[in-house]
Structure 1
Amino acid sequence: MIEVRGLTCGYGEKTVLHDINLSVGKGEFFGIIGPNGSGKTTMLRAMTRLIRPAKGTVLLGGIDMKSLHTADVARKIAVVSQSMPLIEMTVREFVLLGRIPYYRKLQFFEKDEDTAIAERVMEMTGIRHLAGAFMSEMSAGEVQLAFIARGLAQEPQVLLLDEPTSHLDITHQAAILDLVKRLNRQEGLTVVIILHDLNLASEYCDRLVLMDGGRIRKVGTPAEVLEYETIEAVYRTVVVVRQNPLSQKPFVMIVSGEVREKCTKGS
C-alpha cells in the first residue's frame, strides 16, 4: 500500500531520515516506535508529502506520490495529528472539514452526501451525540475522537496517526485504539500509527518499525522487534520483557535505577 524507497529527508540543512526503505501492506496495522528525536514524526510527514525528500521516493499503491494532486492524496490518506488546538466550531462542522477534498471548484457548502457521511463517521466513532457541542468544550479523549472522525470523513484508504493516545488515561487509550483496530479489521483500513508506549504498540500492531537516530533499527512483528537487548540498546535503559498471558504479545517493564542498584549490590 505504502512503499518508501531510499528516503532521505529533513528540515533545511538538517537531515533527519537516512536511506529509509520500508513497506506497509494493504489492511495492515503498522506501528512506528522509537525514542524522542528518532525520526518517527518526520517519517509520517514524508508519507503525506508534507516534507519533500532530498533523495528517494514514497509510493502509494505503486504510484509515486509526487505525481498525485494534493486532493487525490487527501482522498487516499487521512492524518490524525497529536496537535489539537481549541477550535470555535461544532463537532459536526469540524468533521465536515474532512469532506473538503471532494468539493468541486466554486463549491462553498457541503452537499447532502457530505452531511450523511459526517453523520455516519460520527456514529462510528461514538460522538454523534456531541455533534452540536463546541470543540473547545470537549475532553481530550472526545477531541481525539472528533479528529479521527474528520479523518474518516475523507473516506481514506490509509489512516496515519501521530501519537493519538498522548495525554489520555488508560481508559481513553484503550477506547481510541480499540476503535482504530476495529476500523482496520472491519473496514479494511490501512493504519500507520506512531506510539510512544511500547506495550500499546505490542498489543495492537501487526508489525513495528523501530527507529533510532533517523535510521531503521529493526522491522518485524512485536515479538521480533521488542527483544530486551534491542530495547536496551536503543532506549539506553534496563528493561525486562515478558509475555502477556492473554494476548501472547511481548510486555516491556522498566527496571528503575533503585532496583538496578540493589541488584548490582546483591551480585
Structure 2
Amino acid sequence: MIQAEHIQVGYDEKIVIEDLSLNIEQGEIVSILGPNGCGKSTLLKTLSRVIKPQSGQVLVEGNPIKNIPTKALACKMAMLSQHNTAPAGITVKELVYYGRIPHKKWYETKNKEDEKLIEWALEHTGLSEYKERQVSSLSGGERQRVWLAMALAQRPQVLFLDEPTTYLDISHQLELMELIRAINQKFNMTIVMVLHDLNQASEYSERLIVMQQGSIKGDGTPKALINEKFLRDIYHIECDIDINPLTHKPRIHPVKTCRTHCAFNLMKIKGEH
C-alpha cells in the first residue's frame, strides 16, 4: 500500500535518512523503533508527506505521493503527532467534526451523514458521554482518544501516530494501545507508529522496523527480531527476554547499559563520594 523507494531525507545540509526503501501492506500494525536521533519521526513524516524527501519517492497504492492532491490524500491518511493542540473553547464533538472536512466541498456544511459518522467515532472511542465537554477540560488520555476519534471520523485507510503514549501514565498508555489495536482489527486500518517502549511495540505490533543512524537495521515480527544480541547492538543494553504466555510475544527486562562511557562516568561519580 505504501512504498518508500531509495529515499534520502535531511534538514539543511544534514542527512537524516539515506537510501531507505520499505513496503507497508494494507491492514498491518507497524512500529518504528530505534535510539533517539535515528530518524524514526523523520521517516514517519516522510511517509505521510509532512516532509518531502530530497531524493527517491514515496508511493501510495502505486501513485507518487507528491502527485496526490492534498484533499484526496487527507481522505486516505491521518497523522497524529506527539503534540496536538485544540482551538480554545472547542468541544469534543466539534473537534471530531474536523475529521469530516477532507470529504466535503468548500460550500458544504455539516449534514446528517457527518452527524452519524461523528457519533460512530465517539462511540468507538468511548467518548459519547464527553461530546459536549471542552477538550481542554479532559485528561491527557481522554484528549488522545478525542484525536483518535477525529481520525476515525476522517475514515482513513492509514493512521500515522508519532509517539502516541508520550506523557500518559501507564494505565492510559495501555488503554490507548488497546484502542489502537481494536481500530486496526475492526476496520482493517493500517497503523504505522513511532514508539519508544519496546514492550508495547512487541505486544501491539505485527511488525517492527528498527532504525539506527538513518538506516533500517531490522524488519520483521517481534519474535523474529527481539533477542539479546540485537538489543545490545541497537540500544546498548543488557537484558533478559521471556515470552508472554498469553500473547506469545517477547517481553524485555532491561538489566543494565553496556555503553562504556556511561559505565566509566558512573565509576567516576561513585569514586567521588
TM-score, with structure 1 as normaliser: 0.92
Matches within 5 A, 1:94-173: 94-107=95-108, 109-173=109-173
Q: Which range is displaced more, 239-248 or 20-29?
A: 239-248
Computed over aligned residues only, the root mean square deviation of the Cα atoms, in angstroms, reads 1.6
Q: CA deviation at 1:202?
A: 0.3
Equivalent position SS for 1:255: strand
Mapped contact 1:29–1:184 kept (Cα < 8 A): yes
Q: CA deviation at 1:12?
A: 2.0
Equivalent position SS for 2:237: coil
The answer to whether structure 1 residue 211 and structure 2 residue 215 are counterparts is no
Q: Which range is displaced more, 74-83 or 239-248?
A: 239-248
Q: How many residues align?
A: 258
Equivalent position SS for 1:50: coil
Equivalent position SS for 1:256: strand
CA distance in 1, matches of 2:118, 2:17: 36
Moved over 6 A (4+): none
Q: Which range is displaced more, 135-144 or 109-118?
A: 109-118
CA distance in 2, matches of 1:12, 1:43: 16
Point out where structure 1 has 5 or more consecutive residues left out of the alignment: 262-267
CA distance in 2, matches of 1:20, 1:227: 24
CA distance in 1, matches of 2:15, 2:91: 40
The answer to whether structure 1 residue 182 and structure 2 residue 182 are counterparts is yes
Mapped contact 1:10–1:51 kept (Cα < 8 A): no
The answer to whether structure 1 residue 49 and structure 2 residue 49 are counterparts is yes
Q: 1:40-59, CA deviations, whole angstroms, 9 ceiling, x for partnerless residues?
A: 11111101111111111111
Q: Which range is displaced more, 211-220 or 83-92?
A: 83-92
Q: CA deviation at 1:86?
A: 5.1
* 1:142 partner letter: E
| Structure 1 residue aligned with 2:7 | 7
| Structure 2 residue aligned with 1:90 | 91
Equivalent position SS for 1:52: coil
CA distance in 1, matches of 2:161, 2:177: 11
Mapped contact 2:7–2:18 kept (Cα < 8 A): yes
| Structure 2 residue aligned with 1:245 | 245
Q: 1:121-145, CA deviations, whole angstroms, 9 ceiling, x for partnerless residues?
A: 0111001111111111100000000
CA distance in 1, matches of 2:2, 2:86: 32
Q: CA deviation at 1:111?
A: 2.2
| Structure 2 residue aligned with 1:75 | 75
Mapped contact 1:48–1:73 kept (Cα < 8 A): no
| Structure 2 residue aligned with 1:26 | 26
Q: CA deviation at 1:85?
A: 2.6
* 1:90 partner letter: T
Point out where structure 2 has 5 or more consecutive residues left out of the alignment: 258-266, 268-273
Mapped contact 1:81–1:163 kept (Cα < 8 A): yes
Equivalent position SS for 1:238: strand
* 2:93 partner letter: R
* 1:238 partner letter: E
